[in-house]
Amino acid sequence: MTIHPTAIIADNVIFGKNISIGAYSIIKEGVIIGDNTIIESHCTIEHSKIGQNCYIGSNCIIGFPPQDLHDKGIDTWVEIGNNVSIREFCTIHRGTQKGNGKTIIEDNCLLMVYCHVAHDCHIKQNVILTNNVTLGGHVIINPFAILSAFFLVHQNVEIGEMAFCVALNRTAKSIPPFVMVDSCESNARIMKLNTVGLRRNGLSEEAIKQIGWAYNTIKSKPNKEAFVLIEEKAKDFPELRRIIDFYKNTKVPVLAFSKGEVEE
């Protein structure tokens, strides 16, 4: 274990093996830090459980109270999984009592510089948030989604798996799985399938074709009718089931598609 002499560590912090903590960092009471995790200089961490093999860059603030006028985040936490990289100047606030009590970042995520993760967010495995992404409270981001620089997400929004969100944009509506969201003057819009991301994550060409068909069906028919048609093909293509589940379970309306057919 390597702890810089200027770091301030509470007595009841729980350390794994081979921990490194940089100059002037403050680790407060009850924090848990897993094996092989590196915390650089000038970080302050409280109310947090951090997994193994994580990297936390300089000047990060993790586990501070939620920015919620009605909730002080008493006995709530931030939970960070394994192999997570949180780069310089990120802020991650703990959950609220009226929420689920936790802000969660699962394994293998990357948060680039100046990202903000608000209270009760749940970032699932293998998500990338690039520079200056900002998440409101209670946001859910599903596996392998990528949010580009300065993308803003309103509270309670859900981002589907393998979605790609173009930089300098915002959304107050949920973004379904497997799509690319482009920018326009007023808000985000769905432009086409995220075919590059789908191929990188091992989806077959036939699965990609069926996803495109499913979204064109949703565009052209009422949801109830479209879902019946998609259910039939979901037996052979589980990705289609995940699309239906997303539409049925997300808490806010789903972002509309741009005009014309959904393109690959």
Active site residues: 119-120, 137
Q: How many CB atoms lie within 10 A of CB 70?
A: 8
User: Which residue in 152, 150, 140 sits closest to 177, CA to CA?
Assistant: 140
Q: How far, in Å, CA of 171 to CA of 100, rounded?
A: 23
CA distance 32 to 49: 5
CA distance 111 to 147: 10
SS3 244: helix
What are the φ and ψ backbone dihedral angles of 142, each rounded to 5 degrees?
A: -85, 165
> What is the C-alpha separation between 160 and 218, in angstroms, rounded?
16
Tokens 């100059």 belong to residue: 23
Q: Which candidate, 135, 239, 151, places its Cα nearest to that of 195?
A: 239
